[in-house]
Chains A and B, each alone.
Chain A
């Protein structure tokens, strides 16, 4: 299995632009998680999906952030408009069972820099 795939791996954009991050989970995993990691705040859970349905989005910082999962093999995290404080590493992870007794498998992350 190729593992969790994220694209792009790096993104540099200017403030105000729309940013779309993409994730392909491991086949057969029912759960998909989006995280953001910064030096200041560590790894924060933004949202997670079960069978393509958003279960908990309490970690989404504000309305500028949105996430979708149109099918079992694809998810997007969109920031519109982007701001410099959104600069971070964004990880996608998938799990066969929602965190209860199974591990999460992380993608390599997208490093976002908003100028």
Chain B
């Protein structure tokens, strides 16, 4: 079945460092890909998305490109801030079986001042 694999955390960075969180997926058909972010004590919220191959999603300085050839959707940010400390989830939605969204295990990011 469909699955999402993302790098294990926690990831600890200093402020202004470059961030990469790897995400790869397995899916039938042509899924849409998402990154969600969960701040402490809150629910998940959509960070960015891409709906077809070679699309780049971007928001708040974060970017991810839908790579069909490598089945990847890695999250990047050029300069992280303390406020970016959160848990990041990679996810896919396929239209097989009712638009079920599958999440990766989540990667916790700590950013130090």
Do A and B actually bind? no
Q: A residues touching B (Cβ–Cβ < 8 Å)? A: none
Q: B residues touching A (Cβ–Cβ < 8 Å)? A: none
